[in-house]
Amino acid sequence: MENLKSLDGEWPALSWPLSLQDALSPLTTEMLQRIARLLLIYDWMKEDDKEALIRGLVPAMADYAAASTELWDEERWTLIRKLVKNNGLLANPPQSGPAAYYLRERGIAFPGQVNGIKSLVMPAELVERFVKLEGLSGTPAHVKRNTEAIRLTQGLLYYYGVLPETELEERLGALAGQPSDDGRDVFEVLVDALDFRATYDADEDGLYSNLDVEDPQELLHLQQARGELEYREFTKAELLKAGEPEFVERTKAHQELADYLSREYAVDRQEADVIAEICADTFKNGKSMSAAFEILQFEFSIEDDRTIEEIAGMLARLNNSTRQWVLKGHRPDELSSSAGGIPSNVLAMPQRPHQADVISIQTGRKIGRNDPCPCGSGKKFKKCCGAVAD
């Protein structure tokens, strides 16, 4: 798959209004075939002749692109409304990396410079067709349903780490208040969102996972080994909140560590908060306190015994109050204090070799796996340099 290297450098000059013919002509045959696949234009998915492919796509793309919006959430719908309202031009687009990548992959809008300003440009034929979309003046019911399904999925995976497709479908149905008899459509929505700021991933076996899970299959195995431990149940409101892209559960112990780092090491409070989040993520992944301490040691070169003792206490409290994926969304402290206690093997962390963190730390900032890759490819980190780090 070709990437959008131009997104970090100088965006190509584009005319506006832009015809679909002019928008498609600079693309490679592979990119045109991918547009056909993503828009489900079956007749042209395997055409190898570029000129024939363009001739076939131009009259078909507007209707197929409009149909693809049936899978969209409110964020993408808002982008389209802005593009249509401005006759196909959106200057300085928000979330320009993911938005440009998603829309260009589908031939719906193209990143470039119009009069020297970075913009997204929608071909005139698509503007004309999208004007006729039902509910364009507001937010249609199906867009609201899609948004809820994506947010609930992200919330579930924020707390559980991984869920097989069948388990995810069952839980989404229960949260909707009815059995899921429309699972295929739900998963079409979830899969389409993978290319646009989703905080989860899915493998070929149908295992859905939070982007920060280092080894989804291993995590599933560890959860299944704790058959006596039920999943921690969350309310729909809790899951929708946790499904927000930038959500972080900041416990009292999280705040304590962030305050300490900010005070004792004179780092920006926001940077201290990110470092505390990364430490919590190590516990969510089932790693030891020593792994979390290594992160702080890397940042601050901690040497004296008193400081080590203070930080060890804070890390212990952070570990105990963090909802952990190997514990199916439970915190160690709520399990250990539950009536009658629990078997010791439930809380015991399985021994396993140390693995390098997928998350990078540079000058105290976390590079999320769903963020635009710092290499400038325009792809998400998890699909670019993050894949190499894995």
| Least confident piece of the model among 90-99, 115-124, 172-181, 342-351 | 342-351
Token pair belonging to 88: 């196909």
Question: Which positions ≥6 away from 48 have C-beta within 8 Å?
Answer: 29
Helix (H, G, I), strand (E, B) or coil at 354: coil
| DSSP 8-class letter at 369 | T
The more confident residue out of 312 and 382 is: 312
Quote the mean pLDDT of the chain: 85
**CB atoms near residue 1 (< 10 Å):** 8
Tell whether the model's pLDDT for residue 127 goes beyond 70. yes
Phi, psi of 200 (to 5 degrees): -135, 170
pLDDT for the residue 344: 39
| Least confident piece of the model among 44-58, 172-186, 291-305 | 172-186
- What pLDDT digit, counting tens, does each position of 243-297 carry? 998 899 999 999 999 999 999 999 999 999 999 999 999 999 889 889 999 999 9
Whole-angstrom distance, CA of residue 362 vs CA of residue 226: 36
Token pair belonging to 82: 């802005």
- What pLDDT digit, counting tens, does each position of 31-65 carry? 999 999 999 999 999 999 999 999 999 999 999 99
End-to-end CA distance of the chain: 19
